[in-house]
Structure 1
Amino acid sequence: MTSNAPFCRLSRPGIASCFGSNLDDIAHALAHGVRGLSQVDRYTPGTPLSLGPVTQALPEESDWPFNHRSRNNRLIKAALDALGDQLPALLDRVAPERIGVIMGSSTSGVSETEDAIARTGAGNDFDDQYCYYRQELGAPSAFIAEHLGLKGPQWTISTACTSGARALSAARRLLATGRCDAVIAGGADTLCNLTVHGFSSLDAVSPTPCLPFSQYRRGINIGEAAALFIVTRDEGGIQLTGYGETSDAHHISAPHPDGDGAARAMQRALDMAGRTPTDIGYLNAHGTATPHNDAMEARAIHRVFGDVAVPVSATKALTGHTLGAAGTLEAAFCWLALERQLLPLHVFDGAFDSALPPLALVDNATPAAPLRAAMSNVFAFGGNNATLLLERTS
């Protein structure tokens, strides 16, 4: 299986998640269907919710510039650290002005603003511990660029749940311009009251572990994470060979019920990579476990793949929905699937919703044939859709 797509190599990912940062541990969790969720009532006192918090020790921030001190940036620094020796090797071979940074986020440092309101009281002036810059959506990319001394283009994309995926497709486009020789690209989002209460107000949150594609699904679990790749024009390894981006313009929050935009995103990714449905060995579904999203996505998958029984799983059942980080985190899961030759298990109650088109949900982590290409779907508020297609070249 060969591709005509330009080279867009994705490095070994750096991750900070509810499973930690060790790729062996993360791969084990995916292959064995281990849920990383916890019962947490910090945001809903007295009413615990199943959330996916990052519990690993995070880097100390006390010696950072004041405007960069946020939990979101600490997650990002943990993901940078998890890149290991790849990062100094990059800085040794590529000039700072030739390295770009593109991040995706929907919260940035909002949790620090919430802490400031809690300290000072609603309606009162903030104290001197508060810094508005921390919650600016450009803060994640600016933090990486300043922390590493990079001088190339840098920006943050905020398209809700597709942010991290769009950061990777934007990195591919930036490399194609010739302006950069490498891009650090990814996504990061932090648990906070804004997201937990926001989704709860839409009756979209399940208090118990979510059940994607089950007839008894009740809604999402929310998580947090940071995931990063070094994206280059190098040959070999695992390549981002295709992506598709569409917008439904159907509803302010709900997806198009027929999955029109989602199907077009998948088809565009296939077309860009020069692939057909039979080439795809695994599909990481958006799979939020909300009634509308799962129904739409199942229809869209059936529309694109037809009778091709592509193995499908929804890893948000394991990590929660990490919002702006989800597109990159789940691309990293596809990267691990290709690199380790494993299929992430689909974890739910086994009661598939018979009103949906049938899906080949993964119940065995061992691929039936060598895994060469994987697809990842992410769909956001307002019908903002993105699909990534990754391929193993050796």
Structure 2
Amino acid sequence: MGARVRVAVTGLGVRTAAGNDLAGFWRTLVEGRSTARTITSFDAGELPVGFACQVPAFDPAPYVTGKEARRMDRATLLAVCAAADALADAGGPHVPPERRAVVTGTALGGTETSEAALLGGGQPGALYVPRTMPNASAAFVSMRHDILGPSMTVSTACASGGHTVGEGLRLLRDGSADLVVAGGTEACVSPTILLAFHRCGALSQRGHEPERASRPFDAARDGFVLAEGAAFVVLERLDDAVRRGARVYAELAGYGRTSDAHHLTSPDPKGDGAERCLRQALADARLTPGDVAHVNAHGSGTVLNDVTEARVIARVFGPGQVPVTSTKSIVGHAIGAAGAIEAVVSVLTLHERLIHPTINLDVLDPECEVDVVREPRPPGAGAVVSTSFAFGGHNAGLVFTPS
């Protein structure tokens, strides 16, 4: 195998229930503080599930004018702010506009706007289309940062955010761009979406203790906690980053993507598609399972998904052989943004040399033969793998290595 383009992660930006800035976000994760709360942004009193993980005190005013904000759904606003932070964090790389690219991901698009039209009698306003179209985030990020190269949107349910980062890697490798802003966004905490996920049996029912509701790999788990948020990374060729003296958080070394082709909402219980995805990502990174020091798992907290993922991790890496954590235990499940949020966490794990804990794990499900991190611990030497396994059987795997 010949030499290949090495890709660096040089910028990070987040908007999550754990915080509106990178430092606060990471501190909340390391301290293991749950962000699930009773919903206060609307009256959820009549809903069967009245709690979620929402971005606190979100104020887009420093980033957009009032006129601009009126053209954007909350999901787009979250994306615009997180992407701007990621670019600023990267130090504003000087790349010709036509050599810049953006890839955004979302599963549900402009939920806030759709909900308002539904509750308003089904009468869409003049801005309904630009506010709800799934590609709105990519379009607005492109316009705000003069991105004239590829501007794309991925919608693969809960794997969307992971796929955006991986597709950014491919754009750099194939020479389509010199700089890629990639990430996911979702603003899905609404009465309709809560009710819909509840009726398909996906949400936790622990309304009496929402802060303990998200409990991946725990024997008493009963579903995920819905969340909103956005996360973006800036990717560029490692040689370019070193040449301009950029801070390199980590390298993005491998990407895998497969399909279960099994069921619209349930994972293939054998986990064959997920396993192929992980092995594909490792092969793409030119690594072996023994080179991996940590897995940031999809870890949604649903009964079937956790068992299937644990089996896959045990088959690929060996039972209990690699430390595993679930970011969703703290920030909930942000659907199309989840994979991007967890990609940022994976990068920070390498950069900070610390694995954040999985909270609310009282009794490990005996069917989950994995070493789940319950207290912060440093990773061993090696790579970090981030997994995303979605409704529809979409699988994404990312491999990050130390810079």
CA distance in structure 2 between the aligned counterparts of 1:216 and 1:103, rounded to whole angstroms: 35
Instruction: Tell me whether 1:202 sits opposite 2:200 in the alignment.
Output: yes
Is the Cα–Cα contact under 8 Å of residues 37 and 52 in structure 1 kept in the other structure? yes
Match of residue 229 from structure 1: 233
Seen in structure 2, the aligned counterparts of structure 1 residues 298 and 88 have a Cα distance that, compared at 3 Å, is closer
Match of 2:22 in 1: 23
Gap regions ≥5 residues in structure 1: none
- Residues 257 and 296, structure 1, Cα contact 8 Å, conserved in 2: yes
The question of whether the paired residues in 2 share the 8 Å contact of 1:244 and 1:269 is answered with yes
2:295 aligned counterpart, secondary structure: strand
Instruction: Name the CA distance, whole Å, in 1 between partners of 2:102 and 2:266.
Output: 31
**What pairs with 1:163-312 in structure 2 (closer than 5 Å)?**
163-191=160-188, 192-208=190-206, 209-235=213-239, 237=248, 238-307=250-319, 309-312=321-324
CA offsets 1:297-337 (integer angstroms, 9 cap, x no match): 01111111124610001110101101111111001001111
How far off its partner does 1:225 sit? 0.8
Q: Does 1:82 align with 2:47?
A: no
Q: Is the 8 A contact 2:52 2:227 kept in 1?
A: yes
The correspondence of residues 57-72 of structure 1 with structure 2, limited to 5 A, is 57-60=58-61, 61-65=64-68, 68-72=71-75
What is the root-mean-square deviation in Å for CA atoms of aligned residues?
Answer: 2.1
2:124 to 115, 123, 126: 126
Distance 1:362 1:349 in 2: 9
- Contact 1:165/1:386 (CA < 8 Å) preserved in 2? yes
Distance 2:87 2:283 in 1: 34
Identity over aligned pairs, percent: 31
Give yes or no for contact 1:288–1:294 (8 Å, CA) kept in 2.
Answer: yes
Q: 1:364 to 1:261 in 2, by over 3 A?
A: same
CA-to-aligned-CA distance 1:273-301 (integer Å, 9 cap, x gap): 12122221111111111111011101111
The alignment of Structure 1 onto Structure 2 pairs a total of residues equal to 383
| Residue among 366, 379, 398 paired with 1:388 | 398
| Distance in 2 (alpha carbons) for counterparts of 1:307 and 1:5 | 32
In the TM superposition, what are the counterparts of 1:293-372 in structure 2 within 5 Å? 293-307=305-319, 309-354=321-366, 356-367=367-378, 369-370=380-381, 372=382
1:232-280 CA-to-partner distances (Å, cap 9, x unmatched) read 1124631110111110110111110011111111111111112122221
5+ residue gaps, structure 2, are: 207-212, 243-247
User: How does the TM-score come out when normalised to structure 2?
Assistant: 0.89
TM-score between the two structures when normalised by the length of structure 1? 0.91
Partner of 1:141: 138
Number of the residue aligned with 1:98:
99
Larger deviation, residues 75-84 vs 225-234: 75-84
